[in-house]
């Protein structure tokens, strides 16, 4: 063709811009970069495999129609997916639009690891800092630390599986372990039962004991399975005595695993036990920002903060809410706004969710009720009425948002967390005997609730 790929794709973008909402265009079409063109196809680059799948599933026909209109000769579209230097693999060749090719590296099937689970894309926060540090130490020297076994426990969707598999992936990548096996307790149980049925228990034992690093997910499901516990006990002992590394995950601390043999629990508690707690607001925001960046998605900070403020205990649900929001926006051809996020969030967790009252909302509304300017509340003024309004606003921020004390202090002119603690205590003490203060608190809350809906 007598045109450059850049010029042809720019003409396509001009048509696409008028056919989809601005948010959709910015998120899904603007990041696409033209690479090459020949007589049969236009090759473009997309930032991730997730991005490619989304475009194929939702905009395939639209792009094909636009490309046909611009080129006029039945030109096809081919995709090239970006892979970073950390992938250590050559990206697969571009596939024509509509093909069944999946852009993913060849997995090491014998390990059953998901290569997306790495330390690099595990967002660290105060809630998981210790567990991540222990996991990284093990990945660098499996069987060479006193952390054997490592037991990682915590609630659903907090990253236990991610961290366990990150150990396996890094160990293989760095060559610190040659034979790595990841399994779930359920899979272990099923394979053990089948080995008994097919008279292959010897092969089963050799399969699990001939590794350098064994990763077992959700060991709580071994509870009350006496024969499986017996087999796992011997597998554990064989690996441990051979100096091999064992990593286990559980939804609760080992001492809380009822229905487990004492000798097995004793083995679990002989190494290092690390818990993962629900992430704080700042970490949840970082997780969503990382997820959006990883998948090449542009989304405003206020949307991310809204989602993070209302989904507080489950990282998997948090990321799922972001994907659901993007899907709703694209399928309904509407821009992503806070109002749309509220609508989607209601469908996920019901109408009882907190409407994400912001610190700024509280500062403004408190000022209105108490006759003090918002700038005065944030500022350094020490007049009695200003100090009273500031303390009340700090108290309500702690009560009505998921922000940390540090974050609240930063929104009040850079004050430290101890100032916030003091303000909250002053207000709580005054509430015991100051009816006017209680009425002001009710008024602020009422105005905030009305303003949200």
The domain 5-96 having CATH identifier 3.30.300.180: the answer here is: yes
Lowest mean pLDDT among 48-52, 119-123, 177-181, 406-410: 48-52
| pLDDT tens sequence across 174-228 | 999 989 999 999 999 999 999 898 888 888 888 898 899 999 999 999 988 899 9
- Contact in structure between 288 and 319 (CB atoms under 8 Å): yes
Residue 150 φ/ψ, nearest 5 degrees: -100, 125
Sequence ranges of the domains in the chain: 5-96, 129-276, 281-349, 359-452
Question: What would the two tokens of residue 65 be?
Answer: 């129609």
What is the CATH number that goes with domain 359-452? 1.10.1750.10
What 3-state class would DSSP assign to 436?
A: helix
Determine the pLDDT at residue 51: 76
Residue 252 above 80 pLDDT?
Answer: yes
| pLDDT tens sequence across 310-363 | 777 778 888 888 888 888 877 777 778 877 888 777 766 654 444 567 888 899
Place domain 129-276 in its CATH homologous superfamily: P-loop containing nucleotide triphosphate hydrolases (3.40.50.300)
| pLDDT tens sequence across 230-239 | 999 999 999 9
Determine the pLDDT at residue 1: 53
Could you tell me what percent of the chain has a pLDDT over 90? 28
| pLDDT tens sequence across 145-185 | 889 999 999 988 889 999 999 999 999 999 999 899 999 99
| pLDDT tens sequence across 16-60 | 888 887 777 877 888 898 988 888 888 888 877 767 777 887 788
Q: Which residues contact 218 (CB under 8 A, 6 or more apart)?
A: 184, 185, 186, 249, 250, 251
What's the CATH architecture for 281-349?
Answer: Orthogonal Bundle (1.10)
Could you tell me what percent of the chain has a pLDDT over 70? 89
- Contact in structure between 263 and 233 (CB atoms under 8 Å): yes
Residue 451 above 60 pLDDT?
Answer: no
Closest C-alpha among 429, 151, 430 to residue 272 = 151
Q: pLDDT averaged over the chain?
A: 83
**Mean pLDDT of the 444-452 span:** 70
| pLDDT tens sequence across 90-107 | 333 334 443 333 333 333
């Amino acid at each position: 063709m007598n045109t450059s790929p850049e010029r042809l794709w720019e003409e396509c973008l001009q048509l696409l811009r008028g056919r989809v909402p601005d948010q959709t265009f910015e998120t899904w079409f603007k990041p696409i970069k033209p690479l090459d063109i020949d007589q049969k196809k236009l090759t473009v680059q997309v930032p991730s495999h997730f991005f490619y799948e989304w475009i194929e599933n939702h905009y395939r026909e639209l792009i094909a129609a636009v490309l046909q209109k611009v080129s006029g000769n039945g030109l096809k579209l081919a995709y090239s997916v970006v892979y970073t230097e950390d992938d250590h693999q050559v990206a697969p060749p571009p596939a024509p639009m509509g093909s069944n090719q999946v852009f993913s590296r060849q997995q090491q099937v014998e390990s059953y690891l998901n290569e997306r689970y790495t330390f690099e894309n595990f967002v660290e926060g105060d809630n998981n800092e210790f567990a991540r540090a222990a996991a990284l130490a093990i990945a660098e020297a499996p069987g060479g630390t006193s952390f054997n076994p490592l037991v990682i426990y915590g609630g659903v969707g907090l990253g236990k599986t991610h961290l366990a598999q990150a150990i396996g992936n890094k160990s293989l990548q760095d060559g610190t372990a040659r034979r790595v096996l990841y399994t779930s307790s359920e899979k272990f149980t099923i394979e053990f039962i089948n080995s008994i049925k097919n008279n292959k228990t010897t092969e089963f034992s050799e399969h699990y004991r001939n590794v350098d690093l064994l990763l077992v997910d959700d060991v709580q499901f071994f509870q009350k399975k006496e024969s499986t516990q017996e087999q796992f006990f011997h597998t554990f002992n064989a690996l441990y005595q051979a100096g091999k590394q064992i990593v286990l995950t559980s939804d609760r601390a080992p001492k809380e695993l009822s229905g487990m043999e004492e000798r097995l629990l004793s083995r679990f508690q002989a190494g290092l036990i690390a818990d993962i707690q629900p992430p704080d607001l700042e970490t949840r925001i970082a997780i969503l920002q990382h997820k959006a960046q990883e998948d090449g998605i542009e989304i405003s900070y206020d949307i991310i903060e809204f989602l993070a403020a209302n989904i507080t205990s489950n990282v998997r649900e948090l990321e799922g809410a972001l994907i659901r929001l993007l899907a709703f926006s694209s399928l309904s051809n509407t821009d992503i706004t806070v109002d749309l996020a509220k609508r989607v969030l209601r469908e996920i967790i019901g109408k009882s969710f907190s409407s994400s009252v912001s610190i700024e909302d509280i500062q403004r509304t408190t000022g209105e009720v108490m006759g003090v300017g918002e700038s005065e509340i944030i500022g350094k003024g020490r007049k009695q009425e200003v100090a009273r309004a500031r303390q009340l606003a700090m108290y309500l921020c702690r009560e009505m948002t998921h922000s940390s004390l540090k974050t609240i202090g930063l929104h009040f002119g850079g004050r430290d967390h101890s100032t916030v603690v003091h303000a909250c205590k002053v207000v709580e003490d005054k509430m015991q005997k100051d009816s006017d203060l209680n009425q002001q608190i009710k008024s602020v809350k009422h105005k905030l609730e009305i303003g949200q809906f």
